[in-house]
Structure 1
Amino acid sequence: MAHPPRRRRLQALLAGVVALLTLAGLWTATAAGAAAAGCKVVYTIGGQWGGGFTANVAVTNLGDAINGWRLTWAFPAAGQSVTQAWNATVTAAGANVTATNVSYNGSLATNATASFGFNGAWNGSNPVPTAFALNGVACTGAPTTSSPTTPPTTPPTTPPTTPPTSPPAGNAAETVAAMQPGWNLGNSLDATGSDETSWGNPRVTEALLDGVKAQGFKSIRIPVTWGQHQGGSPSYTIEAAYLARVKEVVNWALADGFYVMINVHHDSWQWLNSMPGAKARYDATWNQIAAAFRDSSNKLVFESVNEPQFSDEGQSENYLDQLNTSFHTIVRGSGGGNATRLLVLPTLHTSADQAHLDALSTTIQKLNDRNIAATVHYYGYWPFSVNIAGTTTFDATTQADVNGYLDRSAAAFTAKGIPVILGEFGLLGFDRSLDAVEQGEKLKFFEYLGYYARQKNITTMLWDNGQHFDRTGLTWKDPELYAQMKASWTTRSGTASTDQVFLAKSAAITDKTVTLNPNGTTFAALKFNNADLVRGTDYTISGDQLTLKASLLTRLAGARDYGVNAKLSATFSAGVPWRITIISYDTPTVTAATGTTSAFTIPATFRGDRVATMEAKYADGTNAGPQNWTSYKEFAYTFLPNYTAGTVALTPEFFADVNDGAKVTLTLHFWSGAKVTYYVTKSGSTVTGTLQ
């Protein structure tokens, strides 16, 4: 996503198939700062589906400290590729893959581990790689086991080894219900740089929290990353100034009346994934957090860890059980308000895969504590969420994915009296471009998700890393999206099959029909500039079919300038109106161009139209470019239209997986239904674009 350190996995699609490969070896130093010793690589396939998979790679430096690393490997099978990565910069030339560190994980001390993940594609088979090289030297032997500093086997303050025999008083379901709706202060105190502004957001202020409160939110999740503000073993002392800053922001939020949830956030992949060795540090961290907030308001909520993940995938559920159990014991044992404070426990990866739900359910039953809630995260059905494989609309499959995800969560927990918090939700495509999902389809997703979560008594917390609520102007960057989401907290809103009606400028205007989705409401009126249009004259209603008359469209189109000519509002008996935009267009045109694999754009005259998706194929009909299990490429990852500049950019990631010398046929699909064909040929780093 747009903020490099933020990770997203395809949790809704993971089949739970795990393949684990551990390679270790001796290597001779070739890079500055590296000395002869060894390295270990753990390559884990976290999930696999038809044509796609997700993987995690952990590389451990068993030699002297190095500053800057580069891991290389070759995929064993044709058709395997990396499509999206996090926590590393990943490039490929055919089957050969290179992953290099990013700014925040380039230094590897002895026995330190750096982890990164990626989404990949496969065709035919998906075997794990069999050889890796670190900084150009192969890992070929057995790993060493020595460590320059052996961490203690117990935390500085050893908690009791068993949970309380009787559960503390409290009503978790009541508390979680009161937290609805919630908002995330993302990419601020969880930033892994030197301070809370290092990922591009302004310093948190009281005014910001006041502004969020005014939007109707009842709870605020404040993700906190602690690792870069901690000393070494055995105490792992949190910097006093940083802890004081976290307390300041928490206290501001509590003073505003929020329920506040804090956690251990990006530590999950920075150091906590190296369990079991990281447990002493985890325990020390929570001992300090628990002590610092022991006497805070009972509206403060603790979440054990964000999106837990572990290098040893085969032990992941066991490690998470250990962490959640230890967290519970430490917090409850610290007394004060912590004895009855609501505690929130995640599933592995905060996924609603059934196996992960079952494992967490077992942990919660063991703890025998009525003040516990479960948490999962949801970013939608992946093809829709990132706009790939031709899934451009909120279709039946996408809706069914919402249902399944929340149904499983409710059955595993809420049906048993354990409340569920959807601790993060949104769309994955937002992290590359807010245009990745078309506006109306985006609105339908948020409308339905809010409604269905409400039916399942699941509290929702919007993920916002600065992309939604402007933290300086204190206004919504997309007021329409906010209005739709806010309405979903209490009611349903009517929608329609589309929010766009296209009028071809080169043709006569005719009646246009849109299918209404009342969603349990009743159609009330069709308005233009807040004035009611005349039913029977300007439009007709027959069942769920709204027909806009040619006479109305002619009047609204006026001179028929390209682009938006008018905006209508279909109002219903409840919820927010549905906007229908009237657009004049002609089929877009493109022109020939030259460029490079690092900077190539197709000159385009859009003539009022907008790009829905793009296909890429070779002359023999096989799929070209990344994610070659589908001809439809991922929006913003492989191509990105710029309507102001009049271009469609093809990314370096797209050309990295294009055969040299082969002509690729691109088909640009537009929302009007128009299609435009264009051809590109890569020759080394040079790209030529033609019309035939």
Structure 2
Amino acid sequence: MVRSRSSWLSAVLLALAVLLGLAGPAPAATPPPLTGATGASVAETVAAMQPGWNLGNTLDATGPDETSWGNPRVTRAQLSAIRDQGFRSVRIPVTWSRHQGPAPDHTIEPAQLARVTEVAGWALAEGLYVMVNVHHDSWQWIMEMPSRPDAVLERFTATYEQIAAAFRDAPPELLLESVNEPFFEGSSGDAENAELLHRLNAAFVSVVRDSGGVNATRPLVLSTLHASSEQERLDELAASIATIDDPALVATVHFYGYWPFSVNVAGNTRFDEVARQDLTDTFDRVHDTFTARGVPVIVGEYGLLGFDRSTETVQQGEKLKFFEFLGHYARQKQLTTMLWDNGQHFDRTAERWRDPALFRQISTSWTVDSATGSTDQVFVPATGAPADATVVLDLAGTEVTGVRHGADTLLPGGDYVLSGDRLTLTADTLARLTAGRPHGVAAVLTVEFARGAPWDVHIIRYETPLLSDATGTTAGFDVPAAFRGDRLATMEAVYADGGNAGPHDWTSFKEFGAAFSPDYTGERITLTPEFFDGIRDGSTVRLTFHFWSGATGDYTLTRSGTTVTGTAGG
């Protein structure tokens, strides 16, 4: 008789009761067949996991417990809500280090192991596929393998002996992932890195397979070095998989986009052809190296790196285009994707999306292509008569069916003109929508299509931002800024006597959120201590603030020790 997901959870709870002395020995269980309870191939299992979601910054937190990084304690209701959002799998990152005893046994605290199996069991009971891993241990002790190879391998093996035993009879909808973003400190280079990672992955597969039960055929997930998608790293993992020679292996990489766009540095404020080609090339490499050769692939984390600071690091319309294209191309290349969510996307207490428009774009991309626009912002000057404004549409094979303003339908040929892929909002329409409105978003127009997600266009009434003089220190300097409806895109910094100033001195454009950050409510632009770490003492720096309307603002800084003086103007 095949064991179900719910019966496995019951068995786990009974085993824990035995461990804690609360029940008698569990009766011997009949091992499930080696073909796996569902009989699905590994490729079919991975395909069925699309789309996936990460329970990030929770059981992987390095503090005392799962709430240490600001997220609430996991409940079954949260996992049920995630399933209801359309997700079919959940990755459960786990950091084990703080919950392990000393060598040689490296015993995992029973309460921690019980908690991980409980959360995994809830997810399985909710009909989700599950992937459990060894997570931040990668930089807490696994990274030391070049200098302590035997000790690290011993601990890694002991860790997985316990994890494998806990999940021995879990249904095959649960996958185990060897290690998150592995790397090695102090190695001699690529060859040693590849050899060390192969030793870890081979030990992982051997330990899990030897534990028997469903583990004998359970899909096992192996990462490239750093979870990188560079061809050299892909080739290393492909060689390792060939050597291990196990039919139920899955490859995994992570993807956070073209780095300058992903963090908004070097003036890469848009999801342009360079950023698009980077994604295309990455997914092509992964597909050609693994998927096309019969090894399924899970993109175990995806998102934008700038989200680590704020989801506002990348402008809304540009991020929507990124996620739309990512979903589109992942479907083309048969890649299963798992959204990285450290609590900034799905509010696990309120059980709703913090940015519904973002999730609408992401979730639609799982099944169909959606049209997008060249921009989702139309700036209308607060003074003078507005001009017509055109948004170029990437129709993605569909067609416009209408344009709405709230419950009102705009009239084609009057309120707007559609010519091929060009949507032109007439001057009269823009004047009507912004008349008497304060600075900022005066209206949101929704462009609807025959297929896919709609595209929102924000009509923004603005005037050129005003910057003011200020004094402060290198511990943090605020530029007074009356934004007057405009939004900050990026900032340049150059020395008055020549050369790029500040961190990333290979470019004049600084990193959004790291070197500078706008506060629209507080009407200021903060220059961070990290920015001043890259500014020479006694120097004069000329800043240029670039706004999304196309306006610019010049500002001059003078640093003397820790004192900073700022003057509006060039």
**TM-score, L = length of structure 1:** 0.75
Aligned to 2:4: none
Which amino acid counterpart does residue 223 of structure 1 have in structure 2?
P
Alpha carbons 2:80, 2:126 under 8 Å: kept: yes
1:233 corresponds to 2:103:
yes
Q: CA deviation at 1:531?
A: 2.9
Alpha carbons 2:256, 2:302 under 8 Å: kept: yes
Aligned to 1:214: 84
Q: Distance in 2 between matches of 1:333 and 1:212?
A: 33
Alpha carbons 1:373, 1:420 under 8 Å: kept: yes
Aligned to 2:157: 283
Aligned to 2:245: 368
Number of positions where the alignment pairs a residue of Structure 1 with one of Structure 2: 527
1:421 corresponds to 2:291:
no
The alignment partner of 2:417 has SS state of strand
Alpha carbons 1:565, 1:584 under 8 Å: kept: yes
Of 31, 53, 56, 1:183 maps to 53
Alpha carbons 1:167, 1:370 under 8 Å: kept: no
Q: Distance in 2 between matches of 1:256 and 1:597?
A: 52
Q: Distance in 1 between matches of 2:521 and 2:72?
A: 28
Of 180, 192, 197, 2:62 maps to 192
Aligned to 1:357: 234
Which amino acid counterpart does residue 226 of structure 1 have in structure 2?
W
Q: CA deviation at 1:167?
A: 10
1 or 2, which has the higher helix percentage?
Answer: 2
1:205 corresponds to 2:68:
no
Aligned to 2:313: 436
Aligned to 1:267: 137
Q: CA deviation at 1:600?
A: 1.2
1:319-398 alignment, distance < 5 Å:
319-398=196-275
Q: Distance in 2 between matches of 1:639 and 1:507?
A: 32
Q: Distance in 1 between matches of 2:35 and 2:244?
A: 8
Q: Distance in 1 between matches of 2:245 and 2:470?
A: 67
Q: Distance in 1 between matches of 2:415 and 2:40?
A: 58
Which amino acid counterpart does residue 426 of structure 2 have in structure 1?
K
Q: Distance in 2 between matches of 1:691 and 1:614?
A: 14
Deviations 1:195-223 (A, max 9, x none): 11111111111111111111110000000
Of 289, 292, 305, 1:412 maps to 289
Aligned to 1:248: 118
Q: Distance in 1 between matches of 2:249 and 2:469?
A: 61
**TM-score, L = length of structure 2:** 0.91
Aligned to 1:592: 469
Alpha carbons 2:378, 2:458 under 8 Å: kept: yes
Alpha carbons 2:398, 2:449 under 8 Å: kept: yes
Residues 313 and 589 from structure 1, CA distance in 2 versus in 1: closer, same or farther, beyond 3 angstroms? farther
Runs of 4+ residues deviating >6 angstroms: 166-169
Deviations 1:116-150 (A, max 9, x none): xxxxxxxxxxxxxxxxxxxxxxxxxxxxxxxxxxx
The alignment partner of 1:366 has SS state of helix
Aligned to 2:397: 520
Which amino acid counterpart does residue 289 of structure 2 have in structure 1?
A
Deviations 1:415-456 (A, max 9, x none): 001110000000000011111100000000000001100110
Deviations 1:593-648 (A, max 9, x none): 11111121001100100000000011123110110100000001000000000000
Deviations 1:139-167 (A, max 9, x none): xxxxxxxxxxxxxxxxxxxxxxxxxxx99
Deviations 1:571-603 (A, max 9, x none): 111111100011111100011111111121001
Which amino acid counterpart does residue 173 of structure 2 have in structure 1?
K
Share of identical aligned residues, percent? 58
Alpha carbons 1:379, 1:385 under 8 Å: kept: yes
Q: Distance in 2 between matches of 1:405 and 1:674?
A: 35
Alpha carbons 1:167, 1:369 under 8 Å: kept: no
Alpha carbons 1:332, 1:338 under 8 Å: kept: yes
Q: Which runs of 5+ in 2 are unaligned?
A: 1-33
Q: Distance in 1 between matches of 2:568 and 2:346?
A: 42
Q: CA deviation at 1:541?
A: 1.3
Which amino acid counterpart does residue 185 of structure 1 have in structure 2?
L
Q: CA deviation at 1:535?
A: 0.9
1:611 corresponds to 2:473:
no
Aligned to 1:299: 173
Q: CA deviation at 1:681?
A: 1.1
Of 363, 366, 371, 1:489 maps to 366
Higher alpha-carbon deviation: 540-549 or 487-496: 540-549
The alignment partner of 1:554 has SS state of helix
Q: Distance in 1 between matches of 2:121 and 2:390?
A: 53
Q: CA deviation at 1:544?
A: 1.2
Aligned to 1:476: 353
Q: CA deviation at 1:545?
A: 1.1
Of 537, 540, 543, 2:414 maps to 537
Q: Distance in 1 between matches of 2:343 and 2:174?
A: 23
Alpha carbons 2:50, 2:88 under 8 Å: kept: yes
Aligned to 1:662: 539
Deviations 1:176-202 (A, max 9, x none): 000000000001100111111111111
Q: Distance in 2 between matches of 1:473 and 1:560?
A: 32
Q: Distance in 2 between matches of 1:522 and 1:323?
A: 51
Q: CA deviation at 1:318?
A: 0.5
Q: Distance in 2 between matches of 1:601 and 1:432?
A: 18
Q: Distance in 2 between matches of 1:689 and 1:299?
A: 59
The alignment partner of 2:346 has SS state of coil
The alignment partner of 1:604 has SS state of strand
Q: CA deviation at 1:506?
A: 2.3
Q: Distance in 2 between matches of 1:619 and 1:682?
A: 12
1 or 2, which has the higher strand percentage?
Answer: 1
Alpha carbons 2:400, 2:450 under 8 Å: kept: yes
Alpha carbons 2:385, 2:431 under 8 Å: kept: no
Q: CA deviation at 1:340?
A: 1.0
Which amino acid counterpart does residue 393 of structure 1 have in structure 2?
R
Q: CA deviation at 1:408?
A: 0.2
Q: Distance in 2 between matches of 1:320 and 1:519?
A: 41
Q: Distance in 1 between matches of 2:476 and 2:508?
A: 22
Aligned to 2:432: 555
1:506 corresponds to 2:380:
no
Which amino acid counterpart does residue 307 of structure 1 have in structure 2?
E
Aligned to 1:573: 450
Q: Which runs of 5+ in 1 are unaligned?
A: 1-165
Q: CA deviation at 1:170?
A: 5.4
